[in-house]
Structure 1
Amino acid sequence: MQALLLLQGRPQVTAAELAAELEVSVPTARRDLEALAMSGVPIYPTRGRGGGWRLIGGARTDLTGLTQSEVTSLLIGLTQSLGAEPERVAAVRKLVRAMPAPFREGAQRVAAATVRDVPWGENEQEETSQTVAELQSAIADERRVRVSYDGSRGQRMLELVPLVVGSRGARWYLLGAPVAIGSDSADADGLRTYRVDRIRELEALPQRGVAPEGFDGSREWARMVERVEGMRGDVRATVRVQPWAVRALLDRFGAQARMIEAAEEGAQVEHPVVEVRAHRVEALAEQLAAWSSVAEVIEPIQVRAQLRKLGERIVEQYRDA
């Protein structure tokens, strides 16, 4: 199937090129091409220097029957799938390269403008896939969107150029900006982050909306993450951790944790010390409560007091158990 997709996206494909794409031997790739021809697929080889395998009727023949909207939907589904393991990323990249030329640009915009990232600590599952899909479709078609957004200043109607959709764990975010006056391009100075679960209504508009010149979605996403991480780290706690649980705790808190006292190479520390951060005392205590069997908060007293309150509430709730 991937050999067929590659043939649709290129004027011709050699057995060596197919072998490199599929990470198989050249003889195996050649057998795959010959099997396609024997199965009735209208492909033929051209011999000699500069030769290869071609589709009868040209590289834009749509043998799969996929329409442009179906191709976009396929990419949306793949990019929304949980996980960003190398195999999935490579599959999306190869699929985009192999698509027929008329479909490729929109597919590339979807793939480049979708980020799957490590969580910030939210465990809730959000039913936002339909809104995310609509935003991705607008990005693929280079269209503006009108959204009803329930933010800190109440519910507002906004007209935006969607630029990046990305997730941290289960929660999705949109990087978008209003269009610059007298232009179809987004105003880079107006770039903001929006939580997708706070979008109450969304309408794709017929007006064109494109990224500003030189826009780098990955760089802007990284900047947003760094900014939010900074806001989340106002409250700090020093925690003494069981050695075997240190790696798990560091992974769970991510950028909001760092080692303070660790074992020297080849030595052992009975109780390593870790610093963890959050935006509020209550939030930090709630996160640390799950680690109470393997971690003890040394300071500050405010976090220890909040943990005690949480414990008293739990005891009271289950007093009759």
Structure 2
Amino acid sequence: MRADRLIAVLLLLQTKGRATAAEVARELEISERTARRDLEALSLAGVPVYSSAGRGGGWALVGGARTDLTGLTTDEARALFLAAGSASAAGPAAQAALRKLLGALPAPLREGARAAGTAVVVDAASWGRTAPPEPPHLPALQQAVVDGEQVVLGYRGRDKAPSVRTVSPLGLVTKAGVWYLIAGTEAGVRTFRVGRVTDVAPAGTPVVRPEGFDLRAAWEASAGEVERRRTETSVQALADPTLVPLLRRWLGPAHVAVGEPTADGRVAVELGGPSVPVLTAQFAGFGHRLEITTPEARERLRALAGELTELYAER
């Protein structure tokens, strides 16, 4: 544990340039006394670490000295290359950085890290579809997130007129190959589909980050709202039990509630979706295997059946 901590202290100084014992203690979650003792131990061991007193003082590496020591364990190195080394997920810059890191790793760690870097391929395309292309404004938004700079965002929402607004880019999320921007706006934190962004221009002002903001929590809240809109209504039906797995694949397990079996061998189901017309259009092709019992949906299916009979009647 002491050796790991000394490595962490050294890397902290290498990253920050200068740090007080109190800052080291806070970063590593140790006591200030332990931090000071570790800093002195590094100096006594011949590491070019020195301290200076007064305002702006602290501990630093002599002349900005650097070390190739990464402090990574075998498991940490493998996890890093598994996460970032996918041939399809990592761009040229990331691949170049991983190659440099691989060269800096101690020899015993290299082979495992190299194998991990080629062990995973991420295919963003679902079956029967091609992967969506990378949105043209994604690099500019990534840069804005990293730089912490507000942008003037041109955006065209679904069924809405184009708009222009100044936003604070807080983070990016990719789901099933589609990119989303989580950003602060005058109306609060909002989610924008990056593929609908029409323009990105630096605003020259720093990002305004809500207190306690957490990207994962913000995305989960946004995704939950999307799921809620996808299931604003539901219909009741009687289904052939063998059809239930297909319904779950189509609608998602959360949108298919299975009830008790009936005397004729079918099961009662409740099927959720955005609207009755959308649901009836989806279910029409199941024929006798799925009998809708909700009156409004039955009426729509009768109308659809009449249209199909007229369209395909022999002439």
TM-score normalized with structure 1 length: 0.52
Where does 1:112-123 land on structure 2 (aligned, <5 Å)?
Answer: none
C-alpha separation in 1, matches of 2:261 and 2:174 = 32
1:274 paired residue number? 269
CA contact (8 A) 1:175 1:192 kept: yes
- Identify which of structures 1 and 2 has the higher relative contact order when contacts are C-alpha pairs closer than 8 Å and 6+ apart: 1
Say whether residues 1:261 and 2:266 are aligned partners: no
Distance 1:12 1:198, change over 3 A: closer
Three-state SS of the structure 1 residue aligned to 2:182 is strand
Distance 1:170 1:20, change over 3 A: closer
1:159 paired residue number? 166
Say whether residues 1:175 and 2:182 are aligned partners: yes
What one-letter code is carried by the residue in structure 1 that aligns with 2:172? Answer: V
CA contact (8 A) 2:255 2:273 kept: yes
Distance 1:175 1:79, change over 3 A: farther
What one-letter code is carried by the residue in structure 1 that aligns with 2:153? Answer: V
CA contact (8 A) 1:163 1:175 kept: yes
Distance 1:318 1:124, change over 3 A: farther
What one-letter code is carried by the residue in structure 2 that aligns with 1:245? Answer: L
1:228-259 CA-partner distances (Å, limit 9, x unpaired)? 33333332111222222312312332233222
CA contact (8 A) 1:174 1:195 kept: yes
CA contact (8 A) 2:170 2:182 kept: yes
What one-letter code is carried by the residue in structure 2 that aligns with 1:243? Answer: P
1:82-136 CA-partner distances (Å, limit 9, x unpaired)? xxxxxxxxx99xx6xx699xxxxxxxxxxxxxxx99x9xxx89755633344433
Aligned length: 216
CA contact (8 A) 1:260 1:273 kept: yes
Kindly state the Cα deviation for residue 318 of structure 1 after the two structures are TM-superposed: 5.4
C-alpha separation in 2, matches of 1:171 and 1:278 = 21
2:248 to 241, 250, 254: 250
C-alpha separation in 2, matches of 1:279 and 1:225 = 15
C-alpha separation in 1, matches of 2:194 and 2:286 = 30
What one-letter code is carried by the residue in structure 2 that aligns with 1:11? Answer: L
Task: State the 4+ residue runs in structure 1 displaced beyond 6 angstroms.
Answer: 74-77
Where does 1:144-155 land on structure 2 (aligned, <5 Å)?
Answer: 144-151=150-157, 154-155=161-162
2:227 to 223, 226, 229: 229
CA contact (8 A) 2:235 2:276 kept: no
Distance 1:225 1:205, change over 3 A: same
1:11 paired residue number? 69
2:201 paired residue number? 203
Where does 1:38-53 land on structure 2 (aligned, <5 Å)?
Answer: none
The runs of 5 or more residues in structure 2 that have no matched partner are 1-65, 104-122
Distance 1:312 1:126, change over 3 A: farther
Distance 1:229 1:76, change over 3 A: farther
C-alpha separation in 2, matches of 1:217 and 1:232 = 23
Residue identity (%): 23
The runs of 5 or more residues in structure 1 that have no matched partner are 1-7, 24-71, 81-90, 101-115, 179-186
TM-score normalized with structure 2 length: 0.52
Kindly state the Cα deviation for residue 174 of structure 1 after the two structures are TM-superposed: 2.8
What one-letter code is carried by the residue in structure 1 that aligns with 2:156? Answer: D
